[in-house]
Structure 1
């Protein structure tokens, strides 16, 4: 099994996403929309039907796995096999105090995929042995960055 660990904010849309009780989820960056770069992810993964997705986004912890998954296109939803946060696997306090890289690494150890990579805008706290698996995105460009797209294509072609 091949796994893509996918963050949302700063990857499939701009990083400036917020929540308020009055307005719900909203984006602060003018001209940007939520999940606007999902078609890019679909296109990148299309030639590789065996690549599954594990959600490594705080949306799972903040809302729920079902809610986070439902935000994806049907094609991407069909690839989702889980999330890095599991109520039964990880104590919430412990998970919340782990770096994103540590959260992903813990899931890699649990899931034991044949191959894996992560797309994330947060490179802080990634264990050294995981850094080669991280495709770092820019907060404002995410998957719209041609260099990121090239890196993903190159990595997938090497699988």
Structure 2
């Protein structure tokens, strides 16, 4: 199971900005204040891996973006929807600040869907505060958070846990019941 994870509006309010290359939260609270809630929600699901679907992976690069997460989440992170090759132009030149890429024009859903299709994922969910552009066929995979409450909203955690439990039930083999034969009265 893959969990696509946004940061802003999910792990802290959607008011994080880069100031001199460092993320700063311009709202009450702290950066990643709701990350422990995600750690708790995933505790019973050791097979869940995380793919970063956040602009932090582009702005700060993958390794640095991942480093902001608690260790329990860092060890689950296997990739990101953004990678530096996406900043290349048609001639293969690398521009780290090229803002005219497909990724920059795509909705979060399109970014996630591209990753899903390329990796041929079957079992996946996404936590995000941006519901724009989600296809009806995949909308049930989205745990949509309120940009100001993120995972601090108990309803978001309940939805996440429900979808995780449902996914586990679907992947477990069904036990066959065999009828009892003879000797019983």
In the superposition, the TM-score normalised over structure 1's length comes to 0.92
Q: Does 2:83 align with 1:86?
A: yes
Higher gyration radius (CA): 2
Q: Runs of 4+ in structure 1 displaced over 3 angstroms?
A: 88-92
Give the Cα separation in 2 of the matches to 1:12 and 1:124.
19
The equivalent residue for 1:71 is: 68
Aligned Cα RMSD in Å?
Answer: 1.5
Q: Which runs of 5+ in 1 are unaligned?
A: none
Residue 124 of structure 1 is aligned with which of 123, 128, 132? 132
Q: 144, 147, 152: which is aligned to 1:144? A: 152
Aligned residues: 156
Structure 1 residues 84-93 or 149-158, which shifts more?
Answer: 84-93
Query: Given that residues 59 and 68 in structure 1 are in contact (C-alpha distance below 8 angstroms), is that contact kept between their aligned partners in structure 2?
Result: yes
Whole-angstrom distance in 2 between the partners of 1:128 and 1:89: 27
Q: Distance in 2 between matches of 1:143 and 1:15?
A: 12
Query: Higher strand fraction: Structure 1 or Structure 2?
Result: 1
TM-score normalised by length of structure 2:
0.80
Cross-structure match for 1:35: 32
CA–CA separation in structure 1 for the residues paired with 2:157 and 2:81 = 23
In the alignment, which residue of structure 2 is the partner of 1:8?
A: 7
**Higher RCO by CA contacts (8 Å cutoff, separation 6 or greater):** 1
Name the SS of the counterpart of 2:117 in structure 1.
helix
Name the counterpart of 1:100. Answer: 108
Q: Measure how far apart 1:89 and its partner are.
A: 5.9
